[in-house]
Amino acid sequence: MERMTKNFIEMARILSPSGNEKKLGDYLIKKLRKFSDEILRDENGNIIVKINGNKNTNPFLLSAHLDTVKTSKKPIIKIEKNRIKTENKTVLGADCKAGIAIIIELVKTLFENKIPHPPLELVFTVGEEVGLLGSSKLDKKMLNSKFGLVLDNEKSVENVVIKSVGVDNFEIEIKGKAAHSGVDPEKGISAIKIMAKIIDKIDTGRLSKNTTLNIGFIEGGNGINIVPEKTKIKGEIRGFDRKEMDKIEKTIDKIVKQTIKKQKHINGSPNYFYKITKRFDCFSIKPNNHFIKTLKKSYLKNGITPNFTESFGGTDANNFYRMGIITPNIPTGMKNVHSDEEYLDLSEFKKSFEIILTLIKELGRE
């Protein structure tokens, strides 16, 4: 535990916001080089480490991401009441360096104690915090695992995520017609007014138990004395049901078209642009899956009854699932992530390690 905590603190002091993960990646490679003859950093910066194991068992994936949310302030670390936090109002980086520290300690423990284990495929991704970018660009041919764990969960230790939303972004741009707002406003078409009508007709918030919608960005206009020619909004749809998400996206398209149709038209204006960008797919693992049953046994052996749950947040597990790798997302002790109140619960940090070690031992015997 002491060594795992020390490694975490060392990594927490290495700033690695999205796009600047190389230094942390170098640290990681140095820590794992003695345990692997096959370490690759792909063209995107993702690191894949292959570790030999029992040839009669299937390879197993463990993954955590290298990047943190945006920060430029090195944390001043403080250990207090069984938790690690910062003293200088900045992110700690437990998301996701706690997961990385657990993986490093796991590998060292397996080798030091000569514990039988399956071949391991360790994947450390970049750009997770800005749309799962690194995992979305991974070459599936480099991985042979059918099962694995993603260590990127801030819930209490018993809560294992086996179901997660997919996320689509949407963008609507309205082009009206500019005119002087005092001299000849009747010659203009206000894009802002049209967009306001569209926004009013789009339901936002929690639309159902499966789906949420948010409009988070709006811009438009060039001056208070100019009828605004252009306005743009951006939003997202999160959902567990692809059919429901598709239906909502078609409804938005219909709202835009109908609203535009009802406006006065001058020389082809107004017109619109509507775009959907699929960020990542949802995933759902059945509780009676063989691997989930094995994971449950590992929890129970450590005196914890697991709760298999869902999340409205996406992680690299979404992209691994799309590749055909079953990857529940388990907690690591990180709390209050993405804020200057972030901390690492050392008790849950240790429990997470012990659960995964128990699981690896079990898989090494299969």
Give residue 261's pLDDT band: very low, low, confident or very high (50, 70, 90): very high
At 107, which amino acid appears?
V
Q: For residue 241, what pLDDT is reported?
A: 95
- Could you give the percent of the chain with pLDDT greater than 90? 97
Q: What is the pLDDT of residue 302?
A: 98
CATH of domain 2-164+282-365: 3.40.630.10
Q: What is the predicted pLDDT for the residue at 366?
A: 60
Q: Residue 1's pLDDT is what? A: 83
Give the residue carrying structure tokens 């190389």: 22
| Length in residues, the chain | 366
Same fold, 2-164+282-365 and 166-280: no
The model's confidence at residue 290, banded by pLDDT at 50, 70 and 90, is very high
Q: Contact 238/272 with Cβ under 8 angstroms?
A: no
What 3-state DSSP class applies to 35?
Answer: helix
Q: What is the mean pLDDT of residues 321-337?
A: 97
- What residue ranges do the domains of the chain occupy? 2-164+282-365, 166-280
Q: Is the pLDDT of residue 144 over 90?
A: yes
For residue range 182-200, what is the model confidence (pLDDT) as tens digits?
999 999 999 999 999 999 9
Strands 77-80 and 159-164, by their bridges, are unpaired
What tokens appear for 142 in the block?
Answer: 């480099």
pLDDT category at 365 given cuts 50, 70, 90 is: confident
What confidence score (pLDDT) does residue 81 get?
Answer: 86
Backbone angles phi, psi at 300, to 5 degrees: -65, -35
Q: What is the pLDDT of residue 157?
A: 97
Question: pLDDT at position 52, please?
Answer: 96
**Per-residue pLDDT tens over the stretch 249-259:** 999 999 999 99
Which pTM does this prediction carry? 0.91
pLDDT digits (tens, 9 = 90+) for 17-31: 999 999 999 999 999
Mean pLDDT of the chain: 96
In order of 260, 279, 281, 305, 320, the CA distances from 286 in angstroms are 44, 23, 17, 17, 16
Query: Does CATH number 3.30.70.360 belong to domain 166-280?
Result: yes
Residue 175's alpha-carbon distances to 34, 258, 268, in angstroms, are 60, 15, 10
DSSP string, 132-172: SHHHHT--GGG---SEEEEEEE-S-TTEEEEEE-EEEEEEE
Per the CB < 8 A criterion, the answer to whether 11 and 97 are in contact is yes
pLDDT exceeding 70 applies to what percent of the chain? Answer: 100
pLDDT score at 109: 98
Q: What is the pLDDT of residues 51-63, one digit of tens each?
A: 999 999 999 999 9
What span, in angstroms and rounded, lies between the C-alpha atoms of 25 and 23? 5
Nearest-10 Cα torsion for 334, 337, 343, 347 = -20
Average pLDDT over residues 5-11: 97
| pLDDT above 80 (res 306) | yes
